[in-house]
A = this chain, B = another copy of it.
Amino acid sequence: MTKDFRHVTEIDRLLHEPSRLVIVTILYTVESADFLFLQRETGLTKGNLSTHLAKLEAAGYVDIEKTFRGKVPLTICLLTEVGREAFKVYRNHLKRVVDSMPE
């Protein structure tokens, strides 16, 4: 048996998707962001961003608040405590993965 690298497969798939990781990383640093801000920062299309946010919301990682800026609809996104914890866990897991990789 070689060294066991299978721990990699236990990583949080929701955050392992690069698009979602970028979204969550941004939310981790800013605490609150609207839809178009996220779109600009991530470079994602609206449809794609919308889907990823819905998935993160379904997992309880982000809260999505529908509101208005004047008369214009506005979607505010923020990380939940669950999401913050999940990010930290993922980050640490990824660190271990990197450290376990052979030279």
Interface residues, chain A, with chain B CB atoms under 8 Å away: 1-6, 8-9, 11, 13, 16, 18-19, 21-22, 25-26, 28-30, 40-43, 91, 94-95, 97-98, 101-102
Question: How many identical subunits does the complex contain?
Answer: 2
Cα–Cα, bound, A77→B43 (Å): 38
Provide the main secondary structure of the chain A interface. helix
Q: Is the CB of A26 within 8 A of B9?
A: no
Cα–Cα, bound, A16→B19 (Å): 13
Q: Is the CB of B11 within 8 A of A18?
A: yes
A98 to chain B, nearest CB (A): 5
Q: Is the CB of B16 within 8 A of A2?
A: no
Which 6 pairs from chain A and chain B are nearest by CB? A9-B18, A8-B18, A5-B25, A5-B22, A91-B101, A29-B102
